[in-house]
């Protein structure tokens, strides 16, 4: 059984690192090469790692040797189970391929029209199917007025509306300020560790309000947005996040392995 991201309410919270490959690379051959290179660089004792490739690559990658701590994720789902939904991919399909985590509400999908209500529906569907949703939230810009806190709180409450307290611990939240996400070149702005720390505390407070102190304390809060081999150490220690959602740098095995190592401290 895959172990990455296993959770029970009694289990100590593990950190988690998720690779969001987005719409990269262009061929299955290249995807296999990157996947194998990452696998070769990860120590058996590494924190749980989830690789979320483009959906068409999942089947082939699932045939490769995973190691105990690495599993596959997906970048989106359609919240129905079967039926006339041309072009969509369902949770049971992904589950049958061994997918353990799915990213929902990524800002790049929200920019294409995904609504808070859809993020909520997908989150609940994933929980029903025992797949961990990685719920992405984050403001598009920072304002002196502090409006970014309101944005994050609204997205969080909307995404988790109706999630029973007992299931809250099966959700991971990824704080990804949109302005910090790289445009595919790995060179975006990074939020300072102090700013991420402040938001991490704020998110935990909202989660506590929603689910109570003990459940909120067990939930993972990840950070994403231009995480790289140089800033991962500081982010994990000073921002006190529970791991990372990594875009551009997750396609570079050496950099990604360094990020996973940082998450292990
Ligand atoms: P980035 O992407 O690490 O390339 O900034 C993060 C994400 O969008 O999940």
Nearest atom of ligand 1 to the alpha carbon of 181:
5
Mean pLDDT (10-residue bins), the chain, 265 residues: 40 82 98 96 89 97 88 96 94 96 97 97 96 97 88 98 96 95 70 95 98 96 96 94 97 97 92
Confidence at residue 187, expressed as pLDDT on a 0 to 100 scale: 60
Residues 6 or more apart whose Cβ sits within 8 Å of residue 69: 3, 4, 42, 44, 45, 46, 47, 48, 49
First to last CA, the chain: 25
> Does the Cβ of 52 fall within 6 Å of ligand 1?
no
Nearest to 20 by CA among 237, 190, 184: 184
**Among this protein's residues, is 176 annotated catalytic?**
yes
Confidence at residue 3, expressed as pLDDT on a 0 to 100 scale: 41
pTM above 0.95, yes or no: no
Exactly one of 108, 118, 139, 176 is catalytic; name it.
Answer: 176
């Amino acid at each position: 059984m895959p172990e990455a991201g296993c959770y029970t309410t009694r289990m100590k919270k593990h950190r988690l690192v998720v690779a969001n490959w987005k719409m990269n690379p262009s061929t299955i051959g290249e995807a296999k090469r990157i996947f194998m290179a990452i696998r070769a660089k990860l120590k058996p004792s590494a924190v749980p790692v989830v690789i979320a490739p483009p959906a068409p690559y999942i089947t082939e990658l699932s045939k490769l040797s995973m190691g105990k701590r690495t599993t596959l994720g997906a970048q989106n789902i359609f919240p129905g189970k079967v039926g006339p939904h041309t072009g969509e991919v369902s949770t049971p399909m992904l589950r049958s391929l061994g997918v353990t985590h799915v990213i929902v509400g990524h800002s790049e999908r929200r920019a294409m029209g995904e609504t808070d209500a859809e993020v909520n529906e997908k989150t609940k569907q994933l929980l029903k199917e025992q797949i961990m949703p990685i719920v992405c939230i984050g403001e598009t810009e920072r304002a002196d007025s502090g409006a970014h806190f309101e944005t994050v709180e609204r997205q969080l409450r909307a995404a988790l509306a109706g999630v029973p307290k007992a299931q809250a611990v099966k959700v991971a939240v990824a704080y990804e300020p949109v302005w910090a996400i790289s445009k595919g070149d790995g060179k975006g702005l990074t939020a300072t560790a102090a700013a991420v720390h402040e938001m991490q505390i704020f998110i935990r407070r909202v989660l506590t309000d929603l689910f109570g102190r003990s459940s909120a304390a067990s939930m993972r809060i990840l950070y994403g947005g231009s995480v790289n081999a140089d800033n991962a150490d500081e982010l994990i220690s000073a921002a006190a996040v529970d791991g990372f959602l990594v875009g551009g740098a997750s396609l570079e095995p050496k950099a990604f392995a360094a990020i996973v190592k940082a998450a292990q401290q």
